[in-house]
Amino acid sequence: MKTSWVKSTLAISIASLLNVSAYAQNTDDQSEANVEKITVHGMHRAYQGAFEYKEVPAAAQDIDLRLMNDAGAINLNDALDLSASVARQNNFGGLWNSFAIRGFSGDENLPSGFLVNGFNAGRGFGGPRDLSGIDHVEVLKGPKAALFGRGEPGGAVNLVTKRPQFRQGGEIKATYGSWSQKRIEADVQTVAGSAEDVGVRLVGFYEDAESFRDIVETERFGFYPSVTWEASADTKITYELEYTEQKIPFDRGVVAIDGELGHQPIETFTGDPSGDTIDTEVVGHQIEISHKLADEWNLLLGAGLRDTTFEGNALENNFDGRQTLFIDPNQALLSRFKRYRNFQTDYFVLRGEIAGHFDTGSLTHRVIIGADYDKFENDQIILRYRPPFFSSDTDINDLDLDQYLVVDIFNPDYSPLPDVELSDNLDRFEVQEAWGIYFQDQINITDKFQIRLGGRFDKFEQEIDNRLASPVSTTSQDDTRFSPQVGAVYLFDDTTSVYATYGEGFRQLTGSDFAGNPFEPNESKSAEIGVKADLTSMFNNIRGDVTFAVFNIEQSNILVFDDSEEASDGFFLTPAGEARSRGVELDINAEFENDISLWVSYTFVDAESTNDAADANFVAAIESGDPLINVPENQLSIQLSKGLSFADMPARIGSGLLYVDKRLGQTATDFYLPSYTTVRAFAEIEPIENLSVKVSVDNLFDEEFYTNSFADVWVEPGAPQRFRLTAAYRF
């Protein structure tokens, strides 16, 4: 990968900015930071407008920078573990972020989509997202389709980046941890221009780390500069660059023998350490223009361009029933197949919206009117070698094991493997193009009662070139959809509100049916009621909020196996599956005057199929009432931290807990991942001004656990007890 210019630019830029004036990170600065956060959350943002949290007819969580630091989160998965509404899904051998919100995930063959500053910037194959450059993570729950557009019915994840704050200073942070983890981060900013009307911020990181998995090592690098120009008192322009490259081994995890985990050591890697590295690269650009039109109106324009590449080989565990070999408890030979992937995506987004308010008689209207356009190009090539099939009564002594790329999962041999010939498996180019117009009107009927009316018109086109066909076959579709949303909020007083909301949405599917036609989109209906309490208004010594919500979501047109007569001559899919998710949530985010912070997130989810169908991967029978894969009924996340003084030195200590209930580990089977509870702890001290030292321990009690799976031969184990030492210098 070509990175020398990026690394050189980062080094030169940081070196030049280190000459800026130092500033003290004292109590006054902390107060200023708190004020700044409140200001950011109160300003107009794309698709969301400017509303107090208690006025919004939907639940949301704001995972801010201090909470992520207290929890030791360095990647998006760590941050989302703090939200019990989010469940980890199959992450494609560690190559991307995949999650379900309120029980529903997206396409299992694509990374979960997330937003970056409101842009659909999570699409593509850029590898798992690092938190370097991220200021806070928003989990926006409920029916967001009326404004955000095509997405999942459970909600959306929005990453808010670190942007210039028009001050000079920064932070350098270094970490050394278990399994030779070495990580360095930099966050430096300054001002420029004769009127100091240009803010510059440079954020970057480099990490090289081994793993508790034998012979598995990753290398990551990211650079995220941004520039904000205050062109006038009413106009602000911000540009941001996202550049990330990662070298990540493709790791399908461990296997269960006869449906039981724990036989294979969690340290055993079953891939090929000499050739199973996937190289990913992301180059992304965002520009945003905010202009105040009048006292009550604001114009927001934005554009984004994001290119990703994903290339490399993978040696993957074969599925039971195809070529898997299990011999006896002392020797377990596992056959594997090999794939080469070359994925490239280009994603372009434009958006513009106007927000403001006006009165009609005694009614006050706060409106958002906007339009957006996006184009997603997805180019995928897959080559594959699959060993020949053998029946269950075949004598192993009659097999040429070199053909089966076997590994002993108890005592793996990482010697070079025999060469195998890869053949075409997939060669497809897909273009999804969409135009949307949206509106929202939140009307103050009285001082206490508000209603929200919203809707979104979408026109989308999809074209797929199957380049394996001769001649190349092209199929296409186009459609127009309307996604409505209605909601109501009743404000009892300054402290408490109740709300209800309903919305409909859809999500385009990738691929085509037996006739080569693109699939009809997923469709969803979502309803939610809840109560919000503002702790800041209720108590003099507490800041924060509490939210309790009840939700029900229905989804249709889920891809399942097509067992119709027309499709009987091959393995094809059809959008005929249906599912429902319903549950309750309790979220508490509180800060006490004695510098104690408490975060509690609990969710109960009942997510299940609601019709009989055949599984899209293994053609097993799904029955109505079967649970959805990787979705726990109960999930709980707690983080408790306290600031104090130790020998006249500022200090902070804290601990966190994550409980995840048992989950279905393979669709249409009785294979379950066991429940688990992990505990983390940290202690941080500032021995001299502006220098802090932190010791953190993850999985304090060294529990063996499994975070997600796709099948009983693709199960991701969680990390054992891990220590990290971090030193940070602020200037």
Q: 290 in a domain, yes or no? A: yes
For 260, residues 6+ apart whose C-beta sits below 8 A from its C-beta are none
What is the tally of helices (H) and strands (E) in the chain?
Answer: 6, 37
Q: What is the pLDDT of residue 208?
A: 97
**Residue span of the structural domain in which 324 resides:** 53-730
355 pLDDT band, cuts 50/70/90, is very high
Distance CA 130, CA 653 (A): 24
Q: What is the pLDDT of residue 147?
A: 73
Mean pLDDT of 661-689: 97
The alpha-helical segments, DSSP class H, found in 216-309 are none
Mean pLDDT of 367-381: 95
Cβ pair 340, 312 in contact under 8 A: yes
Geometric angle at alpha carbon 719, from 716 and 725, rounded to 5°:
150
Cβ pair 534, 545 in contact under 8 A: yes
Q: What is the pLDDT of residue 508?
A: 83
Mean pLDDT of 437-460: 95
Per-range mean pLDDT, top range of 298-302, 415-419, 518-522:
298-302
Q: 5 in a domain, yes or no? A: no
Q: What is the pLDDT of residue 260?
A: 93
Q: Are strands 134-141 and 86-88 parallel, antiparallel or unpaired?
A: unpaired
276 pLDDT band, cuts 50/70/90, is confident
Mean pLDDT of 376-390: 93
440 pLDDT band, cuts 50/70/90, is very high
Q: What is the pLDDT of residue 25?
A: 35
Q: What is the pLDDT of residue 415?
A: 86
Condensed to tens digits (0 to 9), the pLDDT of residues 164-219 reads 999 999 999 999 999 999 999 999 999 998 889 999 999 999 999 999 999 899 99
Q: What is the pLDDT of residue 399?
A: 85
| Buried b or exposed e, range 52-81, using 16+ CB within 10 angstroms | eebbbbbbbbbbbbbbbbbbbbbbbbbbbb
Mean pLDDT of 412-441: 92
Q: How many CB atoms lie within 10 A of CB 87?
A: 31
Pick the closest to residue 208 from 245, 171, 161 (CA basis). 245
Query: Is 693 exposed, middle or buried (CB count within 10 Å of its CB: 0-12, 13-18, 19+)?
Result: middle
Q: What is the pLDDT of residue 149?
A: 67
Residues 40, 43, 49, 53: is their CA dihedral positive or negative?
positive
Whose tokens are 């459970």? That residue is 154
Cβ pair 102, 141 in contact under 8 A: yes
Q: What is the pLDDT of residue 133?
A: 94
Distance CA 647, CA 645 (A): 7
Pick the closest to residue 432 from 495, 494, 512, 487 (CA basis). 512
Coil/strand/helix, residue 404: helix
CA distances from 544 to 41, 228, 285, 302, 633 (A): 13, 30, 34, 31, 27
Instruction: Using the predicted structure, report yes or no on whether residue 329 has a pLDDT greater than 80.
Output: no
Q: 6 in a domain, yes or no? A: no
Phi/psi at 399 (5° precision): -100, 145
Distance CA 163, CA 133 (A): 8
Coil/strand/helix, residue 33: helix
Instruction: Using the predicted structure, report yes or no on whether residue 29 has a pLDDT greater than 50.
Output: no
What does pLDDT average to over the chain? Answer: 89
Q: 159 in a domain, yes or no? A: yes
Q: What CATH number has the domain bearing residue 97?
A: 2.40.170.20
Condensed to tens digits (0 to 9), the pLDDT of residues 601-630 reads 999 999 999 999 999 888 899 999 999 999
Condensed to tens digits (0 to 9), the pLDDT of residues 94-146 reads 888 999 999 998 778 788 888 888 877 668 898 999 999 999 999 999 877 66
Distance CA 682, CA 98 (A): 27
The alpha-helical segments, DSSP class H, found in 501-648 are 535-538
Distance of CA 36 to the CA centre of its chain: 26
Condensed to tens digits (0 to 9), the pLDDT of residues 615-669 reads 988 889 999 999 999 999 999 999 999 999 998 999 999 999 999 999 999 999 9
Pick the closest to residue 187 from 161, 158, 218, 207 (CA basis). 161
Cβ pair 524, 504 in contact under 8 A: yes
Number of domains in the chain: 1
Q: 64 in a domain, yes or no? A: yes
Minimum mean pLDDT range among 269-273, 461-465, 607-611:
269-273
Instruction: Using the predicted structure, report yes or no on whether residue 533 has a pLDDT greater than 60.
Output: yes
Q: 21 in a domain, yes or no? A: no
Q: What is the pLDDT of residue 691?
A: 97
Q: 245 in a domain, yes or no? A: yes
Q: What is the pLDDT of residue 267?
A: 95
Query: Is 434 exposed, middle or buried (CB count within 10 Å of its CB: 0-12, 13-18, 19+)?
Result: buried
3 pLDDT band, cuts 50/70/90, is very low
High-pLDDT (> 70) share of the chain, %: 92
Q: Residue 124 has what DSSP assignment? A: S
Mean pLDDT of 278-303: 93
Condensed to tens digits (0 to 9), the pLDDT of residues 35-92 reads 333 333 334 566 677 788 999 999 999 999 999 999 999 999 999 999 999 999 999 8
Condensed to tens digits (0 to 9), the pLDDT of residues 468-496 reads 988 999 989 898 999 999 999 999 988 99
Condensed to tens digits (0 to 9), the pLDDT of residues 401-414 reads 888 999 999 989 88
Minimum mean pLDDT range among 104-113, 536-545, 707-716:
104-113
Q: What is the pLDDT of residue 108?
A: 80
High-pLDDT (> 90) share of the chain, %: 71
Instruction: Using the predicted structure, report yes or no on whether residue 23 has a pLDDT greater than 50.
Output: no
Q: 7 in a domain, yes or no? A: no
